Structure formats: structure tokens, C-alpha cells
Amino acid sequence: MVLVQWAKEHSKFTIPLAAAALIAAIYAVFDPIREFCVENKITHRFDLSRIPLLGNVRKAAMRSLLRREPAPQQDVSAWTGLADQSARLTSILDEPPESFVVVSGPRGSGKTRVVDQATANKKYRLVVDARKLAAEHSEVEQMTQLARQLGWWPVFNSIISITNAIDVMVTATTGSNAGISATPESQVRRILETLALVLANIRQDRLQAQARQHDKHHEFTIPVHTVEPADIPVIVLDNFLDKDIKFTPVILDWAASVVEAGLAHCIITTSNISGYHEVQRAQPQSPASLVSLNDASPIEAVTLLQQQLSLPTMPEQSPPPHVADAHSANDEY
């Protein structure tokens, strides 16, 4: 009773403390769960579809339900210059991360295909489709979509309203701002901080695994500071900067810090002509690597369409008779 009476008399202190304790309890309970979910999204450690038997059964069941045949394997060799750009991107990803990698080109120029082929052998790969973010109308919906793509779960959209209501209540009661209100931008920062923590944990785990592997084959121990290229995570920001997203500066600043810390490569695919310069402003001290793609020629487009439709390649057409006669006459002359 004494404590209750004291709390009532000193509400100026007890109400902010109680509100802060409530918010801290919520974060303490759910943050480890969210970290686990984000890590599983990257590593697929507990993804049942990755088990060969279950994965094949699932794919076969889906094809039988939809009555579709397996899609043909996409190859960049049919597109002049695309294979070279894919090889260049692969060589960039084989080095430690130093700056952004921007894959730029008009829509339909093969940006996604090049990135998929260059990152096919990467163990840790995470894709954020900015087109889906831009399709959402409100900031809260964009934040929820980002959390869904990163595997950040559970998501409580009501936490923003609750914290704002508590902040207003504390301000009305005590006359001072408690500073515990949340916004969609602050929640996006929390989501990205969780992802950065997971990337740091992955890097530390791989360094320890490499050190143990080294100790098995050598009598002396040396510190390992570089992760194998296949073990460096890759974050792909697909269709980024094509449309306006409220959190674009927040995501770019976060990605720059992750790249500078050597935690992951960051690939940005964009059809925005000025996209490279916007990315460069986020990391001015390190020039971004640019992989530029162009539209295919008509012949290359037909060849690519034939591959997609699994059609036989068109034979070379002989010239019309009057053209052939003209060529033969010139040869005789």
C-alpha cells in the first residue's frame, strides 16, 4: 500500500518509468524471435523446402496442380555482352565488399537475369523488391512490406499507435515528453538494425569455422580476418530508385554502413538513369561499381524468345533469287 500511495503521489516519475518498462519488455521478448526469423530468411536453416526430397515433392505437386512444365533454364549467352557483364559482376562479388554495385539498364535489359546468375553460388542471398514497396500506399504498409521481405516477424503495426498514445498520456500527466513514441521510419531503422546484427553474426560464425578448419591442417594458429567469397552475404535491392519510396535515404545509409563494415555486398538494380549518382551520394568516399546493360538487338530478342519458348533455332535464310543472281554476276565480273 505504501508503494502504491507513493506511486500515486509521484506520478510524474512512475508513469514514464512504467511506460518505458512496458516497451522494453515487449522488445526484450520479441527481438530475439525477430532476429531468429531474419537469420532463417537468409540462411534457410529451417526451410523444409530446401530438403531435396521435400523440395522435389513440393515442386512436382505445384506443377501437377497448375499443369505447368518446368521453366527452361535462363542463360545469358544468347544476349551479346550480357555474359561478359555477368562474369564481371561475379568477379566483383569474389572480392571483399568495398562499395555499392549498381546494375543499371532499361527495363527488360536482363538486370535480374545477370544478378541471378552471378549470385547463383552464394550461400547467403537476400532480395528486397522495391517495386512491391512502392506499390504500397502508406508508410506503415511500406514498413510492413519491408519487414515481410526480410523475414522480420512478428510485426505489430499497433505498436506505433500504442507508443504515441502513451507519449501523449505522459505529456498530459507530467507536462514533459517521454520520448518513447515510434514512427514508421524508426521501425524501419529497427528492422535494418536487426538485419545488420544477423549479418555480423554470420560473418563471425564463418570466421570461426574457417579458423577451426585451418587449425585441423596446421600446427600453428593464425587469426582469420577474411571470409571466403562464397560465404559473403549478398543483399540485392531490386528495382530500387525506379519509383519514390519514403525510406530510400534510410535504406541507402544503412546499406552503405553494411558495405563499409564488410558485412555484405549490396547490389542495386535500377532503370533510373540518375540512379548511380543517387547511390554515389550515399557513399561518396568509395566509387560504386557500375554494370551497365543495354537493350538487345532484334535478332538477339528473337533468339532469347525462342529459348524461353523452347523452340528450335531459326535457320539462316538464304537471300532472295534476284539478290543471289546479282551477287553471282558480280563474282563473275
Q: How far is CA 263 from the centre of its chain?
A: 13
Q: Residue 290's beta-bridge partner residues?
A: 102
pTM of this structure: 0.80
Q: How far is CA 45 from the centre of its chain?
A: 18
Give CA–CA dist 97/34, Å, rounded.
26
Identify the pLDDT of residue 292: 92
Only one residue has cell 514514464, namely 16
Give CA–CA dist 139/56, Å, rounded.
39
Identify the pLDDT of residue 13: 66
Q: Residue 126's beta-bridge partner residues?
A: 235
The C-alpha cell of 237 is what?
A: 535491392
Identify the pLDDT of residue 302: 78
Identify the pLDDT of residue 177: 62
Identify the pLDDT of residue 332: 47
Tell whether omega for the bond before 319 is within 30 degrees of 0, i.e. cis.
Answer: no
Q: What is the pLDDT along the chain (333 residues), one digit of tens a residue?
A: 677 676 666 666 676 677 667 777 777 889 999 999 999 999 988 866 555 555 566 566 656 665 555 545 555 555 657 888 999 999 999 999 999 999 999 988 889 999 999 999 999 999 999 999 999 999 999 999 999 999 999 898 877 777 777 777 667 666 666 566 788 999 999 999 999 999 999 999 999 988 888 777 665 555 667 889 889 999 999 999 999 899 999 999 999 999 999 999 999 999 998 999 999 999 999 999 999 998 777 777 777 777 777 655 545 555 555 544 544 444 444
Identify the pLDDT of residue 326: 47
3-state helix, strand, coil in the chain (%, to 5): 60, 5, 35
Identify the pLDDT of residue 307: 74
Identify the pLDDT of residue 82: 83
pLDDT tens by residue, 59-83: 666 566 655 555 455 555 556 578 8
Only one residue has cell 517495386, namely 131
DSSP string, 87-131: HHHHHHHTS---S-EEEE--TTSSHHHHHHHHTTT-SSEEEEEHH
The three-class DSSP label of residue 290 is strand
Give CA–CA dist 268/245, Å, rounded.
15
Give CA–CA dist 183/65, Å, rounded.
43
Residue 228: name the closest of 52, 38, 93 by CA: 93
Give CA–CA dist 280/288, Å, rounded.
6
Give CA–CA dist 195/124, Å, rounded.
13
